[in-house]
């Protein structure tokens, strides 16, 4: 029931929860199966849980910044991401979301016809490749992220996908992992992708979650993008995150 409601509404926020790591895992697996999480070291003893943490003194790149759908570079990207807040700043540290059902549905019929049948090229190279944002270990970072050459691999997905539960269609591109369009030159694809990136995050498609300790948020990666806002330097932020297995987009 939760999965069906989430598919229709794209995200939920539950306040004032009291979860430890075991109960957080049990909640997640009541919805679906664990997905694979490459490049990031999980919590010891809990291979499917990430501790998303940033200490007050950290100045390196912020994990989760940039509009993205979690791990769209995989053959079967995650369906759902539950995240639970343990400690948050007094101000700042919100996460913004944008509804990709609405982004697609608001396009002109002419643009929809152009996008139908086109496939985006997704890759983790910008984040986790040898020259990527997290491609080299940062001894000062709280999170252990270990990018490597496997991140340059490419995966192809439709620019417009159909949700397996609702049948609704949504844009499936993002500025972090979508690096091109199959069958197009770089000049051609970059122009179209630039338009789609900007269109997909228009303010009237978006909302933002203001975290508090005990906030449990979950979102459907098939119909949303999200963005971690980097506005809390000098404060500590810690959360648990799980991603659940999805299907190959069609």
Strand partners for 143: none
Q: Do residues 40 and 144 lie in contact, with contact meaning Cβ atoms separated by under 8 Å? A: yes
Residue 115 confidence (pLDDT) above 90: yes
DSSP 167-215: --EEE---TTTEEEETTS-HHHHHHHHHHHHHHHT-GGGEEEE---TT-
192-212 mean pLDDT: 98
Of 3.60.130.10, 3.10.180.10, 3.40.50.10440, 3.40.640.10, which CATH number belongs to 10-241? 3.60.130.10
89-98 mean pLDDT: 98
104-110 mean pLDDT: 98
- Say whether 139 sits in a helix, a strand or coil: coil
Q: Which of 158, 168, 170 is nearest to 223 (CA)?
A: 170
Distance between start and end Cα atoms, the chain: 23
pLDDT, residue 137, reads 86
Which pLDDT band, with edges at 50, 70 and 90, does 241 fall under?
A: very high
Which pLDDT band, with edges at 50, 70 and 90, does 198 fall under?
A: very high
Residue 1 confidence (pLDDT) above 90: no
219-237 mean pLDDT: 98
> For a pLDDT cut of 70, what percent of the chain falls above it?
100
pLDDT, residue 52, reads 98
pLDDT, residue 130, reads 94
For the stretch 190-193, contacts whose Cβ atoms lie closer than 8 Å and that sit 24 or more positions apart, written own/partner, are 193/120
pLDDT, tens digit, 9 for 90 and up, residues 154-165: 999 999 999 999
Mean pLDDT of the residues in the chain: 97
């Amino acid at each position: 029931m939760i999965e069906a409601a989430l598919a229709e509404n794209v995200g939920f926020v539950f306040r004032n929860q009291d979860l430890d790591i075991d109960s957080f895992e049990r909640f997640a697996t009541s919805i679906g199966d664990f997905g694979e999480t490459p490049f990031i070291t999980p919590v010891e003893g809990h291979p499917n849980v990430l501790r998303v943490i940033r200490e007050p003194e950290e100045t390196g790149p912020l994990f989760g910044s940039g509009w993205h759908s979690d791990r769209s570079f995989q053959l079967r990207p995650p369906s759902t991401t539950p995240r639970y807040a343990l400690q948050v700043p007094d101000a700042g540290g919100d996460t913004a979301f944008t509804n990709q059902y609405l982004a697609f549905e608001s396009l002109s019929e002419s643009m929809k016809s152009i996008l139908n049948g086109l496939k985006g090229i997704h890759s983790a190279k910008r984040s986790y490749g040898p020259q990527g944002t997290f491609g080299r270990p940062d001894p000062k970072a709280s999170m252990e992220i270990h990018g490597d050459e496997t991140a340059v691999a490419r995966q192809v997905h439709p620019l417009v996908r159909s949700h397996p539960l609702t049948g609704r269609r949504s844009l499936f591109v993002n500025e972090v992992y979508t690096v091109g369009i199959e069958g197009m030159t770089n000049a051609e694809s970059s122009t179209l992708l630039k338009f789609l990136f900007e269109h997909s995050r228009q303010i009237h498609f978006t909302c933002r979650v203001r975290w508090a300790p005990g906030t449990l948020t979950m979102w459907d990666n098939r119909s949303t993008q999200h963005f971690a806002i980097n506005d809390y330097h000098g404060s500590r932020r810690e959360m648990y995150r799980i991603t659940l297995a999805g299907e190959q987009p069609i």
